[in-house]
Chain A
Amino acid sequence: AQSVTQLGSHVSVSEGALVLLRCNYSSSVPPYLFWYVQYPNQGLQLLLKYTTGATLVKGINGFEAEFKKSETSFHLTKPSAHMSDAAEYFCAVSSNNNDMRFGAGTRLTVKP
């Protein structure tokens, strides 16, 4: 079985502050992990993914995430938030490499 838990349905940061969105997963086998972003009235866009190899992965728009097996976590970070980062962020896991299971999402608000 595979599942994802995103801690915090809403996160608010000031522009220029660190962004940290938390994701913990459950998987019976080594997982593939993903972060997607969804802007209002749009589909989901891939930010980054972890498959194998280096545990720190870099994505688009300055985001990165670190796979920590011992903590079963895959938290998303960005050193300095920008107003354009305001969106809904989804963590996803795949254990079977055929489809993904998504978390409930975290809405990021960026204050000026």
Chain B
Amino acid sequence: DIQMTQSPSSLSASVGDRVTITCRASQNIRRYLHWYQQRPGEAPKLLIYVASTLQTGVPSRFSGSGSGTDFTLTISSLQPEDFATYFCQQSDTTPYSFGQGTKLHIK
């Protein structure tokens, strides 16, 4: 199975900060990497698919990059509603798998 490793697992930041979360796959997943945001008590919400395509309705401060095994999610200027947990997920090979999550805290 493909292992997905996110870093950091926790991150403290302030409104207006630029933050980057990384996700590494244990083998080549081409660009089948997606990013989700999850707020407490809610289902995950798709932010970016196939590494860098912004889902409709998602603010442009979110961006993604990478291919192969290394990927990043960047939020260019944090807003109060961005404090949540972020997950990466690979869908190159079944069983599809998720990273362990990065919890973004307000500093």
A joins B in a complex: no
